[in-house]
Structure 1
Amino acid sequence: MYPAGNLYIPVSHGRLEAIYRPRTESAERVALLLHPHPLHGGTMHNKVVFRAARALQEAGFETLRFNFRGVGHSTGEFDDGRGECDDAVAALEYLIFHQPRAREVVIAGFSFGSIVGLKVGCGDPGIHSLIAIGAPARFIDKDLLRECGKPILFIHGAEDDIAPLEPLKNTLETLPLSADQRLVVIEGRPLFRRPFKRADRGNQGFRRSLKVIGMCRNVPHAL
């Protein structure tokens, strides 16, 4: 049976199924998480998205993850990234509406979700920083990144065979990245192939990556 979320976000095409993890009524740090490609099994329950959400929660963030249109109990159908950007904006508006005092807003996406996150986050002045996990180099908009001007953390598995590391490194080297935009490589098996019984080790990699840009300053065990 498909595991259900804990709320539905109203949108123009119906609703988005989501999981919201509030910490307080007046959170200062919030994060929106975006899952992999809907047509290739991507959901908000993806293990990489789950681990990233947990690492961000441990770093003091409230997190919201949701299913794009046509996934799980979300209405609508796949729209080749266009409608999915609209979904991300709607989820972001929901998150900020419920936490209007948030001073740090982060978008974190995995694979397809990372591309959606970059498109939405770079164009929104209210977004503080972006996390792109396993970003497929061939879909990265170089012009968008050149003009983005926001802190961006690229997290990539050294042995990722779906979105290989080298093309991403080559893409980022041509920009080049600014001082607050960087690539952190996690050694070992691809992130999406690590079973949940090794979740703690997977989370250590995420926490170390977040520590690099100061997101884990409130997590004593981040290292």
Structure 2
Amino acid sequence: MAATENVLIHGPAGNIDLIIDTPDRVRGIALICHPHPLFQGANTNKVAHTLARIFRDLGYAALRPNFRGVGKSDGSHDHGIAETEDMLAVIGWAQSRWGALPLALGGFSFGAFVQTRVAARLADSLTPPERIVLVGTAAGEVTGARSYSTEPVPAHTLLIHGELDETVALGNVMRWAEPQELPVVVVPGADHFFHGRLHVLRRIIERTWSPLP
């Protein structure tokens, strides 16, 4: 039966704190990344939690690590650079546990930015991500005097953004997506955290992807 567990695994800087949601039968592996750790981002964030439960319901073991310095994860914030290495370590651990199953990536805000880096690193590997969903993707100048040079992503990436996102302006994501010819699914009335719109997020993803066989 479906289960949720908390585990600590060893990463490049020490412990990585993980929540894992598993379906009755694991048919894939999904890595879910949470928003910015210096702005209260953690693996319990409701958007990250929603993404994990959606992937679990699609047949994936959904792994939600805490970034460095959050929860029981060791290390300190490194603006996405060392975090990328940590996420690759989480994927490696998951593959050692469940094998080379279909891989999916999901990220929200800063976590989406990190996932663009992870996807770039895995593009030429034996197990490139078959499904990628990025929500509220950090791109360009964002609130908090931060700026992101976000990596291009595969053409099959699903981009979802809130019309009224007050942290990452919709125009930022449009400008990033345009040269890649990537469509952006815009949720009318949604803010950065998708307050009152999480059910729409689920509907978009489930309409796009079928459960794993």
TM bracket (short chain): 0.7 to 0.9
Cα 1:210/1:70, change in 2 over 3 Å: same
Alignment of 1:1-16 (within 5 A): 6-16=6-16
Q: Structure 1: give runs of 5+ residues left out of the alignment.
A: none
Where does residue 88 of structure 2 map in the other structure? 89
Q: 1:65 corresponds to which letter in structure 2? A: R
The percentage of aligned residue pairs carrying the same residue is 29
- Asked if 2 retains the 8 angstrom alpha-carbon contact of 1:110 and 1:135, the reply is yes
TM-score by length of 2: 0.84
Where does residue 118 of structure 2 map in the other structure? 120
From 128, 153, 162, the counterpart of 1:157: 162
TM superposition shift of 1:92: 1.1
Where does residue 80 of structure 1 map in the other structure? 79
Where does residue 200 of structure 2 map in the other structure? 205
Cα 1:189/1:149, change in 2 over 3 Å: closer
TM superposition shift of 1:212: 4.6
- Asked if 1 retains the 8 angstrom alpha-carbon contact of 2:137 and 2:168, the reply is yes
Residue 55 in structure 1 maps to residue 54 in structure 2: yes
TM superposition shift of 1:140: 4.2
- Asked if 1 retains the 8 angstrom alpha-carbon contact of 2:21 and 2:52, the reply is no
Q: Which has the higher strand share?
A: 2
Superposition RMSD on alpha carbons, in Å? 2.1
From 174, 177, 191, the counterpart of 2:179: 174
For residue 130 of structure 1, give the secondary structure of its aligned residue in structure 2.
Answer: strand
Q: 1:87 corresponds to which letter in structure 2? A: D
* 1:171-203 alpha-carbon deviations (Å, 9 max, x no partner): 2123323xxxx3211222315162xxx5xx51x
Q: Structure 2: give runs of 5+ residues left out of the alignment.
A: 141-147
Where does residue 143 of structure 2 map in the other structure? none
Residue 129 in structure 1 maps to residue 124 in structure 2: no
- Asked if 2 retains the 8 angstrom alpha-carbon contact of 1:157 and 1:188, the reply is yes
For residue 83 of structure 2, give the secondary structure of its aligned residue in structure 1.
Answer: helix
